[in-house]
Amino acid sequence: MTLMWFAPVAPLPAFLRGPAFVISALVTPLALILVPGVLLRHVTHKKAPKLAIGALAVALPAAIVLAVITREAGEERGLEKRGRWTEAVVVGVDNGKTDECTLRTRDGREISPQMTDGCDPESVEPGDELRVLYDPKGAVAPLEDDDTAVELDPGSYRGTIGGLAVLVIVTGTWGCVRVSRGEK
């Protein structure tokens, strides 16, 4: 999960940010299930270890949510550290699966990555000017300064991240131990 934090904060190069998310949100949680399953498959059970399976079933989604929340906290921290305010011009609106706006600064530099938060094609169109907080290194998507002020508080995620991490560790460990013992 540390990878999810450092991707926008450090920032990792763009070609590594996607794989970092896949590793943190999918590979690590699946390993939590698959490694005990493969290593402990020789253990015979009279009955299926329901509590162990339940514990691992809790750990898997908790690990995925932990990766997503950690990324959000890292993005806020990245904008807090490097963010710059600018007046941006919308040069394109893509309303596919996720609404995305291509933005340029007034001097013509493209803001990367594209803005997704606050880019509703019904309210934003090419030529519109928006005040945005963007990351000059391009690790974090820009945020629009709408009527409510943009408040960045990456520290507000501490309790959630800590609680989810403890939940993943405890339920994952408990589930693996129960599976290995062949307990119900």
CA distances from 49 to 22, 36, 60, 168, 171 (A): 29, 13, 17, 19, 14
- Residue 90's pLDDT is 92
The residue ranking higher by pLDDT, 48 or 79, is 79
Cα 104 to chain centroid, rounded = 25
- Which pTM does this prediction carry? 0.75
Strands 143-144 vs 99-105: parallel, antiparallel or unpaired: unpaired
- Residue 182's pLDDT is 53
DSSP 109: P
pLDDT in tens, 26-51: 777 777 767 666 665 565 656 657 77
Mean pLDDT (the chain) is: 81
Range in 40-49, 102-111, 170-179 with the lowest mean pLDDT: 40-49
C-alpha Rg value of the chain to the nearest Å: 21
